[in-house]
Structure 1
Amino acid sequence: MSLAAKNRIVVITGANEGIGYHMLTSLLERGYRVAGLDINGEHISALQKIHPERVRFIACDVTEDDAVTTAIEGIIDDWGRIDILVNNAGVFNFAPFEAQTLADTKREFEVNYFGYLRMIHAVLPHMRAQNEGIIHNVSSGAGLVGHPGLTGYASTKGAIEALVRSLRLELQHENVSCTLMHPPLSNTESAAELGYPKSLLSDPADVGRKLAAQIESTDRVITADWQTKLGLYLSQRLPYMVKKGTERFVSPAK
């Protein structure tokens, strides 16, 4: 157990499965106390039974103002502070633009964008009061370069990119940092819907461990590894690579 991590409190949303869950388990191994927020908590609850002093499952729908406020206040009442927040909860609807309803896109924004905002609004005053804190926001390359069939999801991630750039400017003279976390496309249950070959997908357990290892970073952009960093760089500067890589998601010209 790291002595530096012993009394550090981390909150992760969308923590019951996928990258969020593996971040939680890795942080637990490193000595952190971790509160996992999710609608369902089967996997987190199992860990809580084994480590009741260092793991909490809190049922929380990030689309509900009162649920978010109650969750954060409960963690602070129980553990006294929150040092790090990881905004990770996310949903997407994979379909051509015309097949996606406004309700579909509003749902994506409620979870992926306003869910992040609700968490930040709840946590930031406490971090400012203790004069310390880190707010990580999980983003996606889709928010930088787009992706066919993910117009709503990509829009939410583009909004998160702008949010973090702006909030970092506001917080530049304070000891509270706001970052973007960019995992690679991983072999999660939700990503399977996209139909990418498994050979192109990263192991979510590996990604979770790599991001957990950087949990104390205050860099503006945090990637799981150098391959992800390079991929983001190339996709932004060589857009034909994105077009070529996503052609199979586009209907052929009539």
Structure 2
Amino acid sequence: MNKVWFITGCSTGFGRELAQQTLALGYKVAVASRNTEDVKDIVAAYPETAFAVKLDVTKADEISSSVKQVLEKFGSIDVLVNNAGIGYFGAAEESEEAEFRHMFEVNFFGLVNLTQKVLPVMRKQKNGHIVNIASIAGFFAFPALSFYNATKFAVVGYSESLAKETGHLGIKITIIAPSGFRTDWAGRSAKESSIVIDDYAPTAGANRANLRKASGHQPGDPVKGAAAIIKAVESENPPLHLLLGAAALKNARIKLAELKNDFDTWEATTIGADSPLSE
């Protein structure tokens, strides 16, 4: 187990569970968190193979410093898990610009900026695996999550393109799309718009309430979810897309059926939009 994992957002949820499980398996792990006090127990349990890294993914200097520190400590970065992320609830019209821009900085641009710093390391090594934690909300959109959906759709699009660009370099990409898991995503870590428009009560308003009510009671088990991610990374042919949770699979299949219906129904119109140039 010589591989080095670099995992962001390790204070709670998937990040914490992934750090603990990979360390238990004998991997070397850079355990990143905005506050290293939140992960000191993990590092104390594995003093030889765990390394606490202070990292706020919205800060360019901390991104550069963290990559440098991990390389100085372990000499390589073989698996990067971009897990850090936040939620924000509100209909599109209700959502406050400062809040959703900040969410993009964390969920998308932070992921991109850290990846940009790690890619040269993996290119030089001619191997590596980048695991981007997206969401089923990056494929199937939900009301009250307009801008959260947008951040995760962005992660998926970026990751799919990255996979096509880096495969020949020995760098693998896996996009994780969980449904509801018992992490803190819908709890204290998620913000909610202070604006409430009554017209959206049956759609976004209802889902806002459902998300809060379900927090801590979701069917997804973070322990099993982390184990599934490790299994994918350790496999000879890891998936580009890995759904986690029965609800993720159900909603993905609904979306596929909706797409097929639209494509098939409007096939003639679609093809009719072409006008081949005459020879």
Question: With structure 1 as the length reference, what TM-score do the two structures score?
Answer: 0.85
Q: Which runs of 4+ in 1 moved over 4 A?
A: none
Following TM superposition, by how much is the alpha carbon of 1:233 offset from its aligned partner in structure 2, in angstroms? 3.2
Which deviations, in whole Å up to 9, do the C-alpha atoms of 1:73-102 show, x marking residues without a partner?
Answer: 110011100000000100121122222111
Q: How does 1:98-247 map to 2 (within 5 A)?
A: 98-192=93-187, 194-197=211-214, 200-217=218-235, 218-224=238-244, 227=246, 230-238=249-257
1:34 counterpart SS class: strand
The letter of the residue matching 2:94 is A
Task: Rate the CA distance shift 1:224–1:32 in 2: closer, same or farther, 3 A.
Answer: farther
For structure 1, list consecutive stretches of 5 or more residues without a partner in the other structure: 1-5, 240-254
Following TM superposition, by how much is the alpha carbon of 1:228 offset from its aligned partner in structure 2, in angstroms? 5.7
User: Could you tell me whether the CA contact under 8 Å between 1:37 and 1:60 is conserved in 2?
Assistant: yes
User: Could you tell me whether the CA contact under 8 Å between 2:87 and 2:186 is conserved in 1?
Assistant: no
User: Could you tell me whether the CA contact under 8 Å between 2:100 and 2:147 is conserved in 1?
Assistant: yes
- Could you tell me the percent identity over the aligned residues? 30
Measured in 1, the distance between the counterparts of 2:226 and 2:174 equals 16
In structure 1, the partner of 2:265 is none
Measured in 1, the distance between the counterparts of 2:256 and 2:28 equals 40
1:201 counterpart SS class: coil
For structure 2, list consecutive stretches of 5 or more residues without a partner in the other structure: 191-210, 259-279
User: Could you tell me whether the CA contact under 8 Å between 1:211 and 1:224 is conserved in 2?
Assistant: no
Task: Rate the CA distance shift 1:25–1:73 in 2: closer, same or farther, 3 A.
Answer: same
Larger Rg: 1 or 2? 2
Within the candidate set 36, 39, 45, 2:40 is matched to: 45
Following TM superposition, by how much is the alpha carbon of 1:229 offset from its aligned partner in structure 2, in angstroms? 6.1
Measured in 1, the distance between the counterparts of 2:63 and 2:99 equals 22
Alignment RMSD (CA, Å): 2.0
**How many positions carry a matched residue from both structures?**
234
The letter of the residue matching 1:219 is P
Which deviations, in whole Å up to 9, do the C-alpha atoms of 1:79-132 show, x marking residues without a partner?
Answer: 100000000100121122222111111101100000111111110000000111
Q: How does 1:20-35 map to 2 (within 5 A)?
A: 20-35=15-30
Measured in 1, the distance between the counterparts of 2:244 and 2:228 equals 5
